[in-house]
């Protein structure tokens, strides 16, 4: 938990235990391993094409990565 911020930047309130439980599940998805690379790509390119297996987390995680990077 030390690597994650302790306060939600959208609400200014501390993250709940449920947040940390969900975060651990997110970290278990294959797409999480490529998070840094993906964010670098969207920062450096106008268009990024993402391909991944079913269940890798593309649909549920990429939008969150984009929001966390400040694009939403």
Q: Which of 72, 31, 68 is nearest to 50 (CA)?
A: 31
Average pLDDT, the chain: 91
| pLDDT bracket for residue 9 (50, 70, 90) | confident
From CA 29, how far away is CA 6, in angstroms rounded?
A: 22
Q: Report the pLDDT value the prediction gives residue 39, as an integer from 0 to 100.
A: 95
**What is the predicted pLDDT for the residue at 3?**
60
The angle formed by the CA atoms of residues 60, 65 and 67, to the nearest 5 degrees, is 105
Mean pLDDT of 44-56: 94
pLDDT at 2 over 80: no
The three-class DSSP label of residue 12 is: coil
Distance CA 26, CA 20 (A): 10
**Contact between residue 71 and residue 42 where contact means Cβ atoms under 8 Å apart:** yes
At residue 4, the pLDDT reads 57
């Amino acid at each position: 938990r030390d690597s994650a911020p302790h306060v939600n930047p959208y609400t200014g309130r501390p993250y709940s235990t449920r947040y940390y439980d969900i975060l651990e599940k997110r970290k278990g998805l294959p797409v999480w391993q490529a998070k840094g690379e993906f964010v670098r790509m969207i920062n450096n390119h106008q268009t990024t094409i993402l391909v991944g297996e079913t269940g890798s987390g593309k649909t549920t995680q990429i939008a969150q990565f984009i929001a966390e990077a400040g694009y939403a």
